[in-house]
Amino acid sequence: MDRPPVPAPADPRTARLIDGLLAAGTAVAVLAGTARFGGRLDAAGALPLALWLGPLLLARRRRPLVVVLLSVQAVVVFRTSGLADVGWVWPASAAYAALAADDRPGRPGLPWAVGVGLAELAFAAAWETTAGGATPREVLGSLGAEALWLAVLLAAATAYRNRLRWRAELDERLLRAARERDLEAGRRIAEARLDIARELHDVVGHTLTVVGIQLRVAAEALHDSPEEARAALTAAQQVRTEAVRDLRALVHVLRAPGEVTEGPAAGVPEVAALVDRMRSAELDVRLETAGDLTSVPAPVSLAVHRIVQEALTNTVRHTEASRADVTLRLADGRLDVSVADDGRSVARTPGAGGHGVRGMAERVRALGGDFSAGPHEQGDGWLVRAAIPVTGFHP
Tens digits of per-residue pLDDT, 153-202? 889 888 888 888 888 888 888 888 888 888 887 777 677 667 666 666 66
What pLDDT is recorded for position 301? Answer: 86
CA distance 213 to 317: 10
| 336-370 b/e (C-beta count within 10 Å ≥ 16 → b) | bbbbbbbbebeebeeeebeebbebbbbbbeebebe
Residue 360 maps to which CATH number? 3.30.565.10
> Is 232 part of any domain?
no
CA separation for the pair 70, 73 (Å, rounded): 5
Domain boundary among 102, 134, 166: 134
Tell me, yes or no, whether 381 lies in a domain.
yes
Q: Indicate whether 1 belongs to any domain.
A: no
Last residue of a domain, one of 91, 118, 134: 134
**pLDDT tens-place string over residues 202-223:** 666 666 666 666 676 677 766 7
Q: Can you say whether residue 287 is alpha, beta or left, with left for phi > 0 and alpha for psi between -120 and 50 degrees? A: beta
Can you give the residue range of the structural domain that contains 370? 266-395
In a domain? residue 41: yes
pLDDT recorded at residue 217: 67
Number of domains forming the structure of the chain:
2
Nearest to 200 by CA among 237, 253, 274, 236: 253
Cα–Cα distance, 55 to 58 (Å, whole number):
6
pLDDT computed for residue 47 by the predictor = 87
The last residue of one of the domains, among 134, 162, 189, is 134
For residues 333 and 393, the answer to whether their CB atoms sit within 8 Å is yes
- Find all residues with CB under 8 Å of 94, minimum gap 6, and list them: 22, 25, 26, 53, 57, 60
Q: What is the enclosing helix (H) or strand (E) of 148?
A: helix 136-221
For the entire predicted model, the pTM comes to 0.46
Residue 225 has pLDDT above 80, yes or no: no
At residue 107, φ and ψ (nearest 5 deg) are -135, 70
Tell me how far apart the 2 most distant CA atoms of the chain are, in Å: 134
Q: Is pLDDT larger for residue 392 or for residue 27?
A: 27
- Please calculate the CA angle 56-61-62 and round it to the nearest 5 degrees: 90
Cβ atoms of 197 and 229 closer than 8 Å: no
The answer, yes or no, to whether residue 60 has pLDDT greater than 50, is yes
In this prediction, residue 329 carries a pLDDT of: 92
Using alpha carbons, select from 271, 368, 277 the residue that is nearest to residue 329.
271
CA distance 69 to 72: 5
Residue 162 lies in a domain: no
User: For residue 293, is it within any domain?
Assistant: yes
292: left (phi over 0), alpha (psi -120 to 50) or beta: beta
Q: What pLDDT, on the 0 to 100 scale, is given for residue 202? A: 65
Does any domain span residue 335? yes
pLDDT for 346: 45
Inside any domain, residue 302: yes
Q: Other C-beta atoms within 10 Å of 162: how many?
A: 13
Q: What is the mean pLDDT of residues 73-98?
A: 86
Q: What is the pLDDT of residue 4?
A: 47
